[in-house]
Amino acid sequence: MQRSKQPTKKACDHCRLKKTRCNSSETWPRSCSQCTGKWECTHFEAVSKQKYSASYVQKLEEKIARYESILSNDNNPQSNAHENENDEDLENDILEEGSTNQQRQLSEFGRIQFMDSMNDVLNKVRAYNQSSNSSLLNKRRLEYWFVHENEEDSYMEPYTDQDFGNDSLMYHFVDIYFQKVNSTFPLLNRLLFLEQLPVRKLERKFASVLILVCALGALYCNDKSVSLPNMEPQDFLAGSSYLQIYKMKAPNYTLSATNVLDVQALILLQMYIQRSSHLQSSMNLNSSALSISLDIGLDQFSKFQDPVQRETSKRAFFCIYLMDRSLSAAFGRRTMLKDKDFRFELPQPLVQEDGFGEQATVLYFSHMIKLYQILGEINHLFGKPKKSNEKVNISKAVAGMSSKLNQWLDEVPEQLKYNTNTQDDLIFQLMSNLRIAFYNIQISMYRKFVPHPRSTKFSKFKIQSLMICTNAARSMLSLFNTMELEKLIVQNFIDFFMNFGPFNALVILILSVCESRRTDAVEQSDIQYIELGINILRRREIKDIVAGKTLDVILHLLDICHLKVKVSKQRRLSDDHRSHRAPQEISAIVMDDLHNIQNQSLNDSEEDDILNNVFNAIQTNPMNFEDGVSSMHLTQLSNDDNAEWNQYLASVFQQNITEGMDFH
């Protein structure tokens, strides 16, 4: 064996393996003291590491072997021509069979899927005898093919007309659902649903969808003259009586055969759950909906020839996709759906959906999918655990994601670009929602890198991150203000992550005020925006329990930070939502005591503790609403309660994992 060339100042192969001291760099070209008289002193491993990896050499050898095989085949033209002919025949057979079998798309993935399908093999066998599926029906033994009563949902009570109330009430709630929920999450086809309703009303699967449609319609119903079944005590509990009926009579999805109606029911259920005390259950519901959708092939859009069925499957699947991205961002979980696992074919308006509002809804939904695709990339990039030796140029990664967000904003369709002069309430909401989602994702990305209160090292990147978060928070609250307080629009359904937007914005603004207060440079406009955000939550909490709970957290933060704002800080349901004010009309904030508070009530260590509380609130695990308040009569918090609150705040946001990241 030949000796390797002059090595670098490293141990020889034997000493490196035994982890002993080596002096080969001094004794070269003679053997080192450890190898002398025993074995050859080599440095092949060190040399190979400097040049090419073993895997690269192996791949290169395999490639050369393939090239040699091709060259040897070229020397045998008869054999090569025969193989080419066979390849062409196979390709033609696949194309011919694919065109007669639902015209499947033959991408590389599609070919493999087509060839591996056992159903296609059975179709080929059946084609030899010209038999059809109908002939099989006559040959089946019934006891093996039909579900026995004890195995199905026969133990459950069937749906009745009384479950839905009188027809006028039911259709009223259905109409509200399509106005307030389906207009932003176009899960159901309105014409098809209304056409099937009289005929299929009491079918268990269809009725489960209908009862949840009524629950969501009741939640968004503002007409006090409409008598709800078993009238709920609070507006944000509207529709809960329908939910109780669903829980008693819904099919068992784990044991019964499933179809697209089951997926739609689970999506509707989590929409309602996201406005209730059990919103964290939405993760489980979405995973169940995803499992069923994959089981019945909703992700294989190309197999549906009927355009209505194709769009139904796409919209149900992308509702799951949006919820997956939304819940992952809100709760700090990993996404279940990967973009590479399915064909990304966006929903399109149907021929029947010829109204401007319906077309705008589908266009909005498709553009929101593109935005949440970027959100998924952000969650994966900054949320995945980092290896101890892994270094990431975080500023470059953030810049790349920010560029994608800005490009998405530039590509918003002209009819959905933000315009305050838009008269149509639905179109204005769609415009606003796109911008709100954009700013919410900006905050979600940059909040991980805001300065720590006790940090003594100056970081331009962290200061810029706080500034970007603050500007995004102001912009988001301005959009909510125009929509909710100026135009008095009751916002249509939005996903949980976007629904958390006002809270995200307020926490950032509180942190910004605390940070600027250390230098006696408090931005009064930030205090005004905090006041504005509280008024927004006051209005939203009437119909949204999440808004009420997040408002409690904000009021607590204001207390511990000693920030004086001119709004009621009573923890109660409020009528403040009736007094809508434009930004220029917001009353001057009471700031006269602020300087005294800083000088008298706070010393440096106390102020650091306050900043740490707020910083921890935006950096740690997601908020847990399962331990919600059981009574509406809240009393003054004791010191022990304050300790519990601080623990509660420590679970507000997802864990920020930045170890091993390079901020320079």
Which tens digit of pLDDT belongs to each residue from 403-461? 999 999 999 999 999 998 888 899 999 999 999 999 999 998 888 888 776 666 767 88
Question: Residue 2: its pLDDT value, please?
Answer: 47
Whether 377 maps to a domain, the answer reads no
At residue 596, the pLDDT reads 36
Q: What pLDDT is stored for residue 370 in this prediction?
A: 93
Domain boundary among 24, 57, 72: 72
| Domain CATH for 21 | 4.10.240
- Indicate whether 347 and 405 sit together in one domain: no
Tokens of 405: 């967000």
Instruction: Note the pLDDT of residue 580.
Output: 33
pTM of the complete model: 0.69
Domain co-membership, 404 together with 349: no
Cα 263 from Cα 258, distance rounded (Å)? 8
Q: Let me know: does 508 contact 443? Beta carbons within 8 Å.
A: yes
Q: What residues make up the domain containing 286?
A: 162-359
The last residue of one of the domains, among 302, 331, 359, is: 359
Average pLDDT across each block of 10 residues of the chain; the chain has 664 residues. List them in order.
56 82 82 82 61 73 80 59 52 50 42 51 69 64 66 72 88 92 92 91 91 90 60 69 88 82 93 82 88 85 81 91 91 84 83 82 93 90 64 78 91 90 91 94 87 71 86 93 88 90 91 79 81 90 84 86 71 39 33 34 44 48 36 36 44 36 41
At residue 300, the pLDDT reads 81
268 within domain boundaries: yes
In this structure, the answer to whether residues 469 and 616 fall within a common structural domain is: yes
Count helices and strands in the chain by DSSP H and E runs:
27, 2
Asked if 175 and 249 sit in the same domain, the reply is yes
Residue 177 lies in a domain: yes
pLDDT at res. 307: 85
Q: Tell me how far the alpha carbon of residue 2 is from its chain's centroid.
A: 59
Report the pLDDT value the prediction gives residue 390, as an integer from 0 to 100.
Answer: 58
Between the alpha carbon of residue 278 and those of residues 63, 152, 282, 624, the distances in Å are 57, 28, 8, 10
**Residues facing residue 661 across a β-bridge:** 392
Q: Which of 300, 328, 359 is the last residue of a domain?
A: 359
Could you tell me the two tokens for 504? 């995200």
Query: Are 273 and 279 contacting, i.e. CB atoms less than 8 angstroms apart?
Result: yes
Are 352 and 414 contained in the same domain? no
194 and 330 share one domain: yes
**C-alpha dihedral, 26 to 28 to 34 to 36, nearest 10°:** -140
Query: Within this chain, do residues 408 and 350 fall inside the same structural domain, yes or no?
Result: no
Q: Please, which residues have CB within 8 angstroms of residue 33's CB and are 6 or more apart in sequence?
A: 23, 27
Q: Is there a domain that residue 110 lies in?
A: no
Kindly state whether residues 342 and 484 are assigned to the same domain.
no
Residue 99 has a pLDDT of 47
What tokens appear for 170 in the block? 């039911």
Burial class (CB in 10 A: 0-12, 13-18, 19+), 459: middle
| Residue 450 placed within a domain | yes
Find all residues with CB under 8 Å of 182, minimum gap 6, and list them. Answer: 188, 190, 361
| Domain identity same for 414 and 290 | no
Total domain count for the chain? 3
247 lies in some domain? yes
Specify the pLDDT at position 435.
95
CA distances (Å), origin 202, targets 197, 217, 241, 505: 9, 19, 18, 45
540 and 415 in a common domain: yes
Q: Is 87 among the domain residues?
A: no
- Name the packing angle between helices 545-561 and 501-517 (round to 10°): 10
Shared-domain flag, residues 584 and 476: yes
> Do both 338 and 435 map to the same domain?
no
The pLDDT assigned to 559 comes to: 83
In a domain, 381, yes or no: no
